[in-house]
Amino acid sequence: MIEASQLRKGHVIELDGKLYRCWEQQLIKMGRGGANVKTKLRDLLSGSIIERTFGSDERLQDVRLENRKVQYLYNDGDLYYFMDTLTFEQPALSAAAVSEVSKYLVENMELTLSMWEDTAIDLELPTTVDLEVTESPPGFKGDTASGGGKPVTLSNGDRVMVPFFIDRGDILRIDTRTGDYVTRVKAGGNK
């Protein structure tokens, strides 16, 4: 059990029989009264976000999740399948639970899967992922990395701003937290 005032971003709590991860929290001091904690909580099974306010001294049931190293296998539309790299079990997550990160999932990618009572709950991506450029407007001779940028389309369908020298077929490293271009990993063969 923790007090609501100790709740931080990333904490997992059980509330009304459901598991929630704290998405945002803000301590609000009242004039003469006590303080309140205003939160946004993400339901780990459905992916929906709720807003809830607690008294700062209200007690909440915190939950400890078991983290496992897994490899992404495939999805069948409704479920995303992973393989535990130690036990070779194949837990699955619902499409709703991975909706925010599914665009970064690449076959055989290694990730961290959070489990609670033998049920897959949440997924933690690596900080960066390498994706191929599928569409790129033409660059021009003399373009440099510091001379501006252009939008390109990646193999996952995302559009991202990159330096002018990036071309179709290049492999780019993308930050999964922001969706921004980090660096070119490998030049493609379409030069």
Q: Would you say residue 191 lies in a domain? A: no
Structural domain for 156, as ranges: 128-186
Last residue of a domain, one of 85, 108, 124: 124
Instruction: Tell me the helices (H) and strands (E) count for the chain, helix number first.
Output: 0, 16
Question: Smallest Cα–Cα separation from 150: which of 134, 161, 166?
Answer: 161
- The pLDDT, as a whole number, for residue 137 is 85
pTM over 0.85: no
Last residue of a domain, one of 100, 124, 148: 124
Residue 143 lies in a domain: yes
CATH number (domain holding residue 168)? 2.40.50.140
Q: What's residue 77's pLDDT?
A: 82
10-residue stretch averages of pLDDT, the chain, 191 residues long: 87 89 88 86 83 91 90 91 93 84 90 87 88 83 62 91 90 91 82 47
User: What residue type is assigned to position 153 of the chain?
Assistant: T
What pLDDT sits at residue 40?
A: 93
Which of 16, 42, 62 is the last residue in one of the domains? Answer: 62
Specify the number of domains making up the chain: 3
What distance lies between CA 121 and its chain's CA centroid? 13
- Assess whether 15 and 45 both reside in one domain: yes
Determine, yes or no, domain membership for 43. Answer: yes
Q: Three-state DSSP class for 95?
A: coil
In a domain, residue 138? The reply is yes
> What pLDDT is recorded for position 139?
64
145 in a domain, yes or no? yes
